[in-house]
Amino acid sequence: MKWSDEAWNRIQPVYQKILDMDFNKQLTDGSLDKEKFKFYMAQDAYYLGEFGKALSAISSRMKDLDDVLAFSNFASGAIVVERALHEGYFKSLGVPDDVKPSPTCLLYTNFLLNHAAYSNVEVALAAVLPCFWIYKRVGDYIYELQVATSSNPYKEWIDTYAGEDFANSVNQAISITDKLAESSSPSQRESMHQAFEMATKLEWMFWDSAFKLEEWPV
Ligand SMILES: Cc1ncc(C[n+]2csc(CCO)c2C)c(N)n1
């Protein structure tokens, strides 16, 4: 079995919980509170900047030059989306420019940067993969359900992750991860599963923290 097939099977319980989240249900029907969306956007801009740095670090650690190129393209893709948020949603929603990360956002970005810098590169790949894969699946799911309500104020955002280009990036990231998993030991493959599963839980926590408008306790 491919590493990615097993990885996807293992995260099914968490993935189903993500589809059932109030944040995603309300985004789908357009009823999500504007403040929650604004919080999410601001945190996502911070996330994307750090995610771009993690992808750049991973890119520099790849052996195959095609993979170096793929990850450096993903990194610039994340930064381009971050810039677009600043130009678009930030202005229209009135988000301040100096976003401070929430506890969950900082936890997630530091988890990714830590793997990118210190773990074996295949484990670092497994850590960033849910960001691609979960968003693609959740994006497609939300996109299909929202068709009936085209007046949804979040339509533009929903459409972002439903495009063909994004689907190609996701498939490329999955196949590079599978290629490295094939030449890894069973214990390395297990470490990859652990990183993949933890990143999936952090995706759940990221949406949950926006829904709760999470604050620092002190
Ligand atoms: C918390 C959080 N997780 C995942 C994404 C999705 N995402 C952001 S950049 C990128 C690929 C790089 O081009 C993907 C898939 C997000 N926006 N926010």
Ligand 1 center from residue 135 Cα (angstroms):
7
CATH fit for domain 3-210, picks 1.10.3720.10, 1.10.540.10, 3.40.50.850, 1.20.910.10? 1.20.910.10
DSSP state of 212: T
Q: What pLDDT is recorded for position 107? A: 98
Cβ–ligand 1 contact at 82 (below 6 Å): no
Cβ–ligand 1 contact at 122 (below 6 Å): no
Q: What pLDDT is recorded for position 154? A: 87
Q: How many angstroms separate the CA atoms of 157 and 160, rounded?
A: 5
Name the residue at shortest CA distance from atom 17 of ligand 1. Answer: 44
Confirm if 20 and 81 have CB atoms less than 8 A apart.
no
Cβ–ligand 1 contact at 89 (below 6 Å): no
Rounded to two decimals, the pTM is: 0.95
Q: How many angstroms separate the CA atoms of 196 and 184, rounded?
A: 15
What is the chain's length?
Answer: 218
Instruction: List the alpha helices (DSSP H) in the chain.
Output: 3-10, 12-19, 22-29, 34-61, 65-87, 89-93, 103-118, 121-146, 155-160, 164-182, 186-211
Q: How many angstroms separate the CA atoms of 27 and 39, rounded?
A: 13
Average pLDDT, 10 consecutive residues per value, the chain (218 residues)? 98 98 94 95 93 98 98 94 81 84 98 98 98 94 77 83 85 98 98 98 98 98
Cβ–ligand 1 contact at 199 (below 6 Å): no
Cβ–ligand 1 contact at 47 (below 6 Å): yes
- The residue ranges of DSSP E strands in the chain, in sequence order, are none
Q: Tell me, what's the ipTM?
A: 0.92
Ligand 1 center from residue 117 Cα (angstroms):
19
Domain limits of the chain?
3-210
Ligand 1 center from residue 1 Cα (angstroms):
27
Cβ–ligand 1 contact at 81 (below 6 Å): yes
